[in-house]
Amino acid sequence: MQLGLADRNVLVTGATGGIGQVVARVFAAEGARVAVTYRNDAEAAEKLAAELGAADDRALAVRYALDEPASVEAAVATVTERWGGVDVLVANAIRWGVRRSPDTRFEQVDPDVWQPVISDNLAPTIRTVQLVVPGMRERGWGRVVLVSSHIAVDGGKGQEFYGATKAGLHGFARSLAWDAGPDGVLVNVVAPGLTLTRRALTGLPEAVRERETKLTPTGRLSAPEDVANTIVYLCSDANGNVTGETVSVAGGR
């Protein structure tokens, strides 16, 4: 299968996380130029960019902070100035949600706590798409994948605010598909289930992982590679007509 990603310019936000790193590596393996973003860990991003070919101008690291609009604009501008535009956007940056404690009711959560989750998880992603889509239209080809969560579809106890932001991505993609599709720009959402990133492996008790595995039809939890391969397919020439869709990567959950 020809993916047609050689020499495409790819921007992966949130690239220092478990899924983001793997996504960047898979794109690079397909011959794409990859820009990886970070908020605080510049060292990790620079190390990843070096691994992906920064010395040969095949990769670069750029700062991108969801709560700093100027950094969003600057990140896209940097990639555009360096390589001439963004062909593929993988919006993976995230502000982790407010998970209520069992003894706190939904209505007791202060707006000062939950409003930043809403504003940072949704608005900057929409703005990033606004910045990259004009160039995609001009070139007659573009791919956008918004990384969501199974919580947007299934819900999660204590995850009302985070779930709302991720569900918002689904409605955004569904509508944008109508506007961008005629210009060759495909927009989709990938919704991972529990994925065995380093964060999950260190932060979740083994008993929880075993329970979730038993509840998964495939009998295993997703690896970051499962999510990355799905994203790369949706962003490739192999995907010619899938747009406005939400693809779950959760082993059948």
Residues 107 and 86 sit within 8 Å (Cβ to Cβ) = no
Q: Is 162 a catalytic residue?
A: yes
Contacts of 139 (CB under 8 A, 6+ apart): 85, 87, 184
Query: Which neighbouring-strand residues pair with 175?
Result: none
Active-site entry in 38, 64, 162, 233:
162
How many C-alpha atoms does 106 have within 13 Å on its Cβ side?
7
Instruction: Check if the beta carbon of residue 7 is closer than 8 Å to that of residue 32.
Output: yes
Q: Cα torsion at 111, 115, 116, 119 (round to 10°)?
A: -170
Query: Using DSSP, how many helices (H) and how many strands (E) does the chain show?
Result: 9, 7
Q: Which residues are catalytic?
A: 162
